[in-house]
Structures are given as structure tokens and as C-alpha cells.
Amino acid sequence: AQSVTQPDIHITVSEGASLELRCNYSYGATPYLFWYVQSPGQGLQLLLKYFSGDTLVQGIKGFEAEFKRSQSSFNLRKPSVHWSDAAEYFCAVLNSGGYQKVTFGTGTKLQVIP
């Protein structure tokens, strides 16, 4: 069965600093991968997705992620963090079987300090 690991539960960065959130997946075939963001009390917003092709994926809000098959990783990056980026970030993998089940990691909570 597929699984997703986000090793960092909580990360604090200064506004303007760069950010990298780690994600490792376990999946037998070529994975379909996602990053979602969740603000407090809100639903999930899709930041970006990887299905195939270029391994560097651009998303909304200045985020990008790089798929590395050899490391089973799909890390999320942003060159300069804004205070409004404070939220919880979830990495997820899609089951490409008979139905579209998405398996989420446990999330990384991002705190941005001025």
C-alpha cells in the first residue's frame, strides 16, 4: 500500500528566508504526487501536482517541488517565505488503481517569524 512520510512536524522560518519541506513516498508504480496547503480551520488548497514529465513542478503562490525517483522524494520549496505562508502543508500520493484514493502525510506546520 502507498504511504507518505513528512518527517518534519513543525518548521519555523524567518520571513524572507527560503523554505524546503520534505516528503518521502512509498509506491510501487510511478506515483502521482500532490502538495496541499491548509490554513487554520479551512479546507485543503492544491499547491501543485506531479503526474509525469519535467521533474521540477511549478505551483501557485511561488512554490515549486522536485520529484526525485531515486530518493522517493517530492520536496516542496519556496525561495522567499511570506508571513501569509504560515499554514499546514500536506504531501499526498494518488492510488492509480480502480479508484482515486489519495493518501496524505501527517503534515508539516509552518510558522513564519518576522
Partner 1 sequence: ETGVTQSPTHLIKTRGQQVTLRCSSQSGHNTVSWYQQALGQGPQFIFQYYREEENGRGNFPPRFSGLQFPNYSSELNVNALELDDSALYLCASSPVGQGGTQYFGPGTRLLVL
- Where along the sequence are the contacts to partner 1 (CB under 8 A)? 4, 32, 34, 36, 41-46, 49, 51, 90, 92, 94, 96, 98-107
CB 35 within 8 A of CB 90: yes
* Residue closer to partner 1, measured from CB, 12 or 14: 12
* Residue closer to partner 1, measured from CB, 86 or 104: 104
* Residue closer to partner 1, measured from CB, 32 or 74: 32
Nearest to 6 by CA among 100, 113, 90: 90
CA distance 44 to 62: 17
CB 37 within 8 A of CB 87: yes
CB 22 within 8 A of CB 35: no
Minimum distance, C-beta of residue 51 to partner 1, in the bound complex (Å): 6
Minimum distance, C-beta of residue 31 to partner 1, in the bound complex (Å): 11
